[in-house]
Structure 1
Amino acid sequence: MFGSHRAMGMALCLFAASLPVLAADLTISNFRVRGPAGGNDEFVELHNGSGAPLDVGGYALLASNASGTTGTRAVLPSGTTIAPGCYLLLTNTASGGYSGSVAGDLGYNTGITDTGGLAIADGAGRLVDQVGLSSGSAYGEGTRLVSLGSGNLDQSYARIRDAAGNVRDTGDNAADFVLQAPSQPRNRASACSDVGLSVSVDDAAVAEGDSGTTPLVFTLTLSKPAPVPVQVRVTTADGAATVADGDYDALDTVVRFGVGDTSQQVTVTVHGDTTVEPDQDFAVHLSEPSAGLAIAKGDAIGGILNDDAAQAEVFQIQGSGDASTYVGQPVITRDNIVTSVGPAGFTMQTPDSRDDRNRLTSNGVYVFTGGAPQVSVGDAVDVRGTVVEYYGLTELTGARVTVKSVGNGLPAPVVFGRDTPSTDPGHLSCGSTNFECFEGMRIRVDRGIVDRGNQRYGKDPFAEVFVSAGGTRSLRSPGVPFGTAAPDTHSGVWDGNPEVFEMDADALGAVPAGTGINGGARFVAEGVMSYDYGDYVFQPTTLRILDPATLPRPVDDPGNPHGLRVGNLNMLRLCDTDGGNSQYECGDHGTPTQAQLKLKLERLSAYIGGVLKLPDVLAAEEVESQAVLQRLADQLAQDYHVTYSAHLVDGHDPSGIDVGFLVRADRVRVEEVTQLGGDTTWVDPATGQSGFLHDRPPLLLEGTLLDRNGFSFRLLAVHPKSRIGVDSGTDAPRNRAKRFEQARDIARDVQNLQTDPKSAYEPLVVLGDFNAYPFTDGWVDVVGAIAGTYDDSANLLNLGGNIVRPALWNAVQSVPQNDRYSFLFTEQLGAIQGYARNGSYDSGRDVPVAQVLDQALLDRLAHRCFRRFQYGRGNLDAPDQTQDDAAGYGDLRKAIGVSDHDGFVLDLACPGLSHSRQ
Structure 2
Amino acid sequence: MPSKRTARIGALTVATICSTVSAVALTSPAQADAIRIHDIQGTTRTSPLVGQKVTDVAGVVTGVRTYGSSRGFWIQDLQADGNPATSEGVFVFTSSKPTVSVGDSVTVAGTVTEFVPGGTSTGNQSVTEITKPTVTVVSSGNAVPAATVVNAKSVPGAYAPEGDTAAGGSINGLTLDPAKYALDYYESLEGMNVQVADTRVVTATDPFTELWVTVKPRENATRRGGTVYGSYTSQNTGRLQIQSLGAVADFPKANVGDVLKGTTAGPLDYNQFGGYTLVANEIGALQQGGTERETTRKQGRGELAVATYNVENLDPSDSSFADHAAAIVHNLQSPDIVALEEIQDNNGATNDGTVAADQTVKKLVEAIAAAGGPTYDWRSIDPVNLADGGEPGGNIRQVFLFNPERVSFTDRAGGDASTAVGVTKSYGKAHLTVSPGRIDPANDAWKNSRKPLAGEFVFRGKTVFVIANHFASKGGDQSLHAQFQPPARSSETQRHLQATAVNTFVKEILATQKNADVIALGDINDFEFSDTAKLLEDDGVLWSAVKSLPKSERYSYVYQGNAQVLDQILVSPSIRRSCEFTYDSVHINAEFNDQISDHDPSVLRFRP
TM-score by length of 2: 0.62
Counterpart for residue 206 of structure 2: 454
* Cα distance change of structure 1 residues 374 and 682 upon mapping to structure 2, 3 Å threshold: closer
Tell me if 1:906 matches 2:604: yes
Q: Does 1:644 align with 2:376?
A: yes
What's 1:165 paired with? none
CA contact (8 A) 2:294 2:588 kept: yes
Residue 746 (structure 1) aligned with residue 505 (structure 2):
yes
The superposition leaves residues 545-592 of structure 1 with CA deviations (integer Å, 9 ceiling, x where unpaired) of 4555757x23334386875433211334555xxxxxxxxxxxxxxxx6
CA RMSD, aligned part only?
Answer: 5.2
Query: Which amino acid is the alignment partner of residue 456 of structure 2?
Result: L
Match of 2:159 in 1: 423
Name the residue aligned to 2:453: 697
Write the distance in 1 (CA, Å) between the matches of 2:582 and 2:301.
12
Counterpart for residue 774 of structure 1: 528
Give the aligned partner of residue 719 of structure 1.
469
- Pick one of 28, 31, 43 that aligns with 1:309: 31
- Deviation string, structure 1 residues 521-546 (Cα, Å, up to 9, x no partner): 55465423333676542134352545
1:332-411 matches, within 5 Å, as: 356-363=81-88, 370=99, 373=102, 383=105, 385-386=107-108, 392-393=128-129, 397-401=135-139
Q: Name 1:662's counterpart in structure 2.
A: 401
| Paired residues of 1:442 and 1:528 also in contact (CA < 8 A) | yes
Distance in 2 between residues matched to 1:679 and 1:444, nearest whole Å:
51
Q: Would you say the 8 A contact 2:75–2:89 is kept in 1?
A: yes
Does 1:632 find its partner at 2:358? no
Q: Which one of 320, 323, 326 corresponds to residue 43 of structure 2?
A: 320
Question: Match for residue 266 of structure 2?
Answer: 528
In structure 2, the partner of 1:602 is 322
1:543 aligns with 2:284: yes
Q: AA paired with 2:203?
A: D
Match of 2:149 in 1: 413
Distance 2:271 2:588 in 1: 32
- Given that 1:554 and 1:613 are in contact with CA atoms closer than 8 Å, whether structure 2 keeps it comes out as no
Q: Closer, same or farther in 2 for the Cα pair 1:363/1:712, shift >3 Å?
A: same
CA distance in 2, matches of 1:870, 1:661: 19
Query: In 2 relative to 1, CA 773–713 (structure 1 residues): closer, same or farther, beyond 3 Å?
Result: farther
Q: Supply the AA of the counterpart residue of 1:538.
A: L
Q: Secondary structure of 2:407's match?
A: strand
Partners of 2:250 and 2:600 in 1: CA distance = 28
Q: Once the 2 structures are TM-superposed, how far is the Cα of residue 443 of structure 1 from its aligned partner?
A: 3.3
**Displacement of 1:659 after TM fit?**
3.5
Shift of the 743–520 alpha-carbon distance from structure 1 to 2, 3 Å rule, reads farther
User: Quick check: 1:564–1:907 contact (8 Å CA) kept in 2?
Assistant: yes
- Counterpart residue identity of residue 424, structure 1: A
Residue 423 of structure 1, CA deviation: 1.2
Mapped contact 1:721–1:738 kept (Cα < 8 A):
no
Q: Deviation of residue 622 (structure 1)?
A: 4.0
Q: Which amino acid aligns with 1:608?
A: I
Contact 1:528 1:538 in 2 (8 A): yes
Change in 2 beyond 3 A, CA 1:714/1:735:
same
- Alpha-carbon distance in 2 for matches of 1:412, 1:692: 47
**Matched residues in 2 for 1:331 and 1:415: separation?**
30
Q: Deviations over 1:286-339 (max 9, x none)?
A: xxxxxxxxxxxxxxxxxxx66552268875675435448696422567xx9x98
Residues 416 and 446, structure 1, Cα contact 8 Å, conserved in 2: no
Find the partner of 2:241 among 481, 502, 507.
502
Q: In 2, Cα distance between the equivalents of 1:418 and 1:754?
A: 58
| Equivalent position amino acid for 2:55 in 1 | Q
In structure 2, distance between residues paired with 1:693 and 1:420: 40
Secondary structure at the aligned position of 1:637 is classed as helix
Q: Secondary structure in 1 aligned to 2:327? A: helix
Using the TM superposition, give the Cα deviation of residue 869 of structure 1 relative to its aligned residue in structure 2, in angstroms.
0.9
Deviation digits for residues 748-795 of structure 1, max 9, x if unmatched? 145247614xx5xxx654322334432334xxx3x33333xx3xxxxx
| Partners of 2:530 and 2:457 in 1: CA distance | 28
Equivalenced residues, count: 487
CA distance in 2, matches of 1:373, 1:530: 15
Measure, in 2, the Cα distance between the counterparts of 1:608 and 1:413. Answer: 45
CA distance in 2, matches of 1:682, 1:715: 18
SS in 2 for 1:556: coil
SS state at 1:415 partner: coil
Q: Say if 2:546 is the partner of 1:812.
A: yes
Q: Which aligned pairs between 1:793-804 and structure 2 lie closer than 5 A?
A: 802=539, 804=540
Once the two structures are superposed, the pairs formed by residues 14-33 of structure 1 within 5 Å of their partners are none
- Paired with 2:312 and 2:284, the residues of 1 have a C-alpha distance of 35
User: Do the aligned partners of residues 652 and 512 (structure 1) sit closer, same or farther apart at CA in structure 2, a change above 3 Å counting?
Assistant: closer
1:70 to 1, 9, 16: 16
The answer to whether the 8 A contact 1:448-1:468 is kept is: yes
Measured in 2, the distance between the counterparts of 1:680 and 1:346 equals 55
**Aligned runs of 1:161-240 on 2, under 5 Å?**
none
- Counterpart in 2 of 1:490? none
Measured after TM superposition, the shift of residue 812 of structure 1 is 1.2
Q: Pick the aligned partner of 1:515 from 252, 268, 276.
A: 252
Q: Deviations over 1:640-663 (max 9, x none)?
A: 253322233557684565433322
Per the alignment, residue 55 of structure 2 pairs with 329
CA change 1:664–1:495 in 2 (3 A) is same
**Matches of 2:251 and 2:152 in 1, distance apart?**
26
1:349-391 alpha-carbon deviations (Å, 9 max, x no partner)? 75xxx8654221234568999455569xxxxxxx453366697
Q: For the Cα contact (< 8 Å) 2:203–2:561, is it kept in 1?
A: yes
By how many angstroms is 1:906 displaced? 2.7
1:436 to 179, 187, 195: 187
- d(CA) in 2 for partners of 1:398, 1:339: 15
**Secondary structure of the structure 2 residue equivalent to 1:503:** strand
Is 1:612 the counterpart of 2:332? The answer is: yes
- In structure 2, relative to structure 1, the CA distance for the partners of 1:726 and 1:447 (3 Å cut) is closer
CA distance in 1, matches of 2:444, 2:103: 68
1:555 corresponds in structure 2 to 295
Structure 2 unaligned regions, length at least 5: 1-13, 67-71, 116-127, 163-170, 221-225, 344-355, 389-394, 416-420, 423-436, 479-487
Letter matched to residue 696 of structure 1: P
> Between the two proteins, what is the percent identity of the paired residues?
18
Shift of 1:716: 1.1
SS in 1 for 2:268: strand
Counterparts of 1:126 and 1:396 in 2: how far apart (Å)? 9
Question: CA offset at residue 732 of structure 1?
Answer: 7.8
Which amino acid is the alignment partner of residue 604 of structure 2?
Answer: L
Identify if the C-alpha distance between structure 1 residues 526 and 617 changes in structure 2 by more than 3 Å, giving closer, same or farther.
same
State the distance in 1 between where 2:24 and 2:193 align. Answer: 34
Amino acid at match of 1:613: Q
| Contact preservation (8 Å) 1:646, 1:662 | yes
Residue aligning to 1:853? 566
Are 2:198 and 2:284, in contact at CA under 8 Å, matched by a contact in 1?
Answer: no
SS in 1 for 2:188: helix
Q: Is contact 2:397–2:450 with CA below 8 Å preserved after alignment? A: no
Q: Distance in 2 between matches of 1:641 and 1:679?
A: 29
Give 1:730-741 correspondences, 5 Å limit. 735=494, 738-741=497-500
SS at match of 1:602: helix
